[in-house]
Amino acid sequence: MPLDYPDYLRFKKLEVLPSDAHLHESYFRDYLRTGGIPEYVLSGDDAYIRELMDNIIHKDIAALHGIRQLQQLKDFFLMLMERCGKTMSINKVAKVLGISNDTSKRFFDLFCDTYIVYPVSRFGKLNEQMVSPKKIYCCDTGIRTFYTGERDWGALFENYCYLRLKHLNLRYVYLDSTELDFYTENKWLLECKFHDEALSPKQEVLFNSFPAKEKYVLRTHQDVAQKLLELEAGSL
């Protein structure tokens, strides 16, 4: 896994005293923008990320699996980056790229197998999980930002939350055309809203009515760290 936020601070030799806690605001945004690939954190060299991803796409995927549609594979990767934090229809992507549904499914599985993206299934009965589109998250927020540009802090924060909490066997909730971010194996319901971002009225109704052991709106990196501490302390 890439560096988490505390690791990032150590790599950058940034020490935040309790009296300077306000500095976390800008430092954490820098982390979401840069991500946690150690070499990139230290050098800030965009060429490193470009070369890293080119090597993975060319060598670990295309060459290893005998894929000749290299440009289509690259275009598929860019669409994955655009969809991070959102659901993705394999068939719709196939139509946009002019490839078969089977090829689209194969490309998707290969990027998952190389841990570039992580799929999240819908919470519900087995048939709902199987037929519903997956939500996807990038292995590193810096890689995602490099290819899509610096925008949508809420989506970047949600991606960060996923990476920190993915060991809790996360599922997303979708009911009555309304989506909530994560339901965990511990029966937590989690919604990621960066700082003062508000739940929509429909989200608020579903959040309040959905049966769960605990319910949390995560707004900062401290919120995520606190939930991890509670888990490690065995409070569940």
Phi, psi of 155, rounded to the nearest 5 degrees: -70, -40
pLDDT tens digits along 123-149: 988 887 778 899 999 999 999 999 998
Closest Cα to residue 184, out of 169, 205, 201, 198?
Answer: 169
The whole-number pLDDT of residue 236 equals 46
Report d(CA 116, CA 43) in Å as an integer. 21
DSSP state of 193: -
pLDDT of residue 104 exceeding 80:
yes
pLDDT of residue 235 exceeding 80:
no
Closest Cα to residue 112, out of 61, 63, 78?
Answer: 61
pLDDT band at 55 (very low <50, low <70, confident <90, very high): very high
The residue-averaged pLDDT of 163-180 equals 93
The whole-number pLDDT of residue 227 equals 84
Average pLDDT, the chain: 92
Domain edges within the chain: 1-44
The whole-number pLDDT of residue 32 equals 95
pTM: 0.92
The residue-averaged pLDDT of 188-201 equals 93
Q: 153-165 and 141-148 helices cross at what angle (nearest 10)?
A: 150
